[in-house]
């Protein structure tokens, strides 16, 4: 760990300056940067019993909802401290959980900061979600005899190669988990190859299935004004996917069809808007229309988080972003919830198992260019089948329950 900490210390000034820049850009209180340095407010009163749950960003926070509820039910005398690493993750924690959990950023993974953090909060149990590996956090909890678990774990081939290359620097950190529950057979094999004891790992479905409520579809006040319009929603898009998707849109028959773009990072929306306006595109900014859909426009650009579910309920087909670039894709399941035909690019390694399952049941189709995607969209816009609705419901319902099973499996 000495070399790891030395490298981190050398790079730390750049990392901290970048963090301050992002904080200013996000218009966040400057004092929140101190949380990442383990500087605590004098007003904080630490409860006696703490359980730490770390979810790096928005996707992990949303996927953890049912798991957090199960932890609260199992440990009613404990208070949950929920940490994250990103501004959007923090905003989502505050929006979803409010005062039901404590919240702060997890400090930078330098030994001094992490030691102060652990000494202050003294978590009795720690749950880390997906692939957020913090070597000093795991090592120090392990040394203190505190149990630390990785739940809903996943390990893409790209992440596996990266961790394999640095494993000697972090003292076989994966072997220090008390138990891991991962999302698929490929993930399990990679974790074992990274040093996890085969008796301390189990495969189950993703927590994301538990965060999808298939009992009812959220109603949208926009639906009443939709009439005969067709709606294509492109969710969680990254730069430069928006340009590719707009080009795709204008290759199909766009009469009575609109395109809704939902960037993964809403702070990018103004830049996207300015670029599309310059090309004379008929575009509307969601916030400027009082968070409603202007059907007189061809393209709606969403610049605020918290509206995606209503927009999915309005859509006829969906494209899931982060897949036309080497990013690995974003979550397909919200679109599946609303029984939408789905398309994506070919970069889907973050959700490989789910993508393969959806392709097998003809819900997902892959296209990686405007030409390929336009052909997919034209076909999907004509689909009128109950088959997708039934397949979607069966697929989601069969995979529920991993959040509750986790607490039965783990040696708590």
Task: Look at residue 223 in the predicted model and tell me its pLDDT.
Answer: 57
Is the alpha carbon torsion for 326, 186, 168, 36 positive or negative?
Answer: positive
CA angle 175, 176, 180 (to 5 degrees): 75
With 90 as the cut, is the pLDDT of residue 340 above it?
A: yes
With 90 as the cut, is the pLDDT of residue 281 above it?
A: no
Q: Residue 159: CB partners within 8 Å, gap ≥ 6?
A: 131
Q: 104 pairs with which residues across the strands?
A: 83
With 60 as the cut, is the pLDDT of residue 224 above it?
A: no
Task: Look at residue 220 in the predicted model and tell me its pLDDT.
Answer: 53
380-400 per-position pLDDT tens digit: 998 877 889 999 999 999 999
Average pLDDT of the chain to the nearest whole number: 91
Assign 216 a pLDDT band (cuts: 50, 70, 90): very low
What's this model's pTM, rounded to 2 decimal places? 0.82
Domains (range + CATH), the chain: 24-213+401-409 (3.40.50.11720), 223-397 (3.40.50.2000)
Percentage of the chain beyond pLDDT 90 is 74
* Bond prior to 255 in cis (omega within 30° of 0): no
Percentage of the chain beyond pLDDT 70 is 97
Taking the C-alpha atoms of residue 394 and residue 255, their distance in angstroms, rounded to an integer, is: 34
Task: Look at residue 323 in the predicted model and tell me its pLDDT.
Answer: 97
């Amino acid at each position: 760990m000495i070399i790891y900490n030395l490298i981190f210390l050398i790079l730390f000034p750049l990392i901290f300056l970048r963090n301050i820049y992002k904080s200013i850009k996000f218009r966040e209180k400057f004092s929140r940067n101190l949380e990442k340095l383990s500087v605590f407010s004098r007003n904080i009163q630490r409860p006696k019993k703490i359980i730490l749950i770390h979810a790096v960003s928005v996707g992990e926070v949303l996927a953890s909802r049912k798991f957090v509820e199960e932890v609260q039910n199992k440990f009613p005398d404990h208070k949950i401290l929920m940490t994250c690493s990103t501004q959007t993750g923090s905003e989502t924690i505050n929006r979803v959980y409010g005062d039901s959990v404590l919240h702060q950023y997890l400090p930078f993974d330098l030994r001094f900061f992490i030691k102060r953090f652990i000494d202050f909060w003294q978590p009795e149990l720690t749950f880390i979600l997906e692939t957020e590996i913090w070597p000093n956090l795991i090592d120090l909890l392990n040394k203190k005899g505190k149990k630390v678990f990785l739940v809903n774990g996943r390990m893409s081939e790209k992440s596996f190669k990266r961790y394999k290359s640095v494993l000697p620097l972090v003292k076989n950190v994966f072997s220090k988990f008390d138990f891991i529950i991962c999302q698929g057979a490929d993930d399990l094999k990679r974790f074992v190859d990274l040093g996890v004891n085969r008796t301390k790992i189990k495969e189950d479905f993703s927590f994301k299935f538990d965060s999808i409520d298939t009992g009812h579809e959220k109603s949208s006040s926009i639906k009443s004004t939709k009439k005969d319009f067709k709606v294509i929603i492109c969710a969680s898009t990254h730069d430069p996917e928006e340009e590719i998707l707009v080009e795709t849109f204008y290759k199909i028959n766009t009469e009575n069809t609109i395109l809704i773009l939902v960037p993964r990072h809403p702070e990018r929306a103004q830049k996207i808007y300015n670029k599309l306006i310059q090309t004379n595109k008929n575009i509307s900014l969601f916030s400027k229309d009082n968070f409603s859909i202007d059907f007189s426009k061809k393209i709606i650009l969403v610049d605020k988080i918290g509206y995606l579910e209503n927009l999915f309920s309005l859509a006829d087909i969906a494209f899931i972003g982060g897949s036309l670039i080497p990013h690995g894709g974003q979550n397909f399941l919200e679109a599946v919830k609303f029984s939408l035909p789905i398309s994506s690019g070919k970069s889907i390694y973050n959700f490989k198992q789910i993508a393969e399952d959806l392709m097998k049941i003809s819900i997902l189709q892959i296209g990686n260019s405007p030409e390929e995607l336009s052909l997919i969209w034209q076909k999907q816009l004509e689909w009128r089948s109950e088959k997708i609705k039934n397949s979607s419901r069966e697929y989601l319902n069969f995979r529920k329950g991993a959040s509750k099973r986790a607490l039965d499996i783990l040696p708590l």
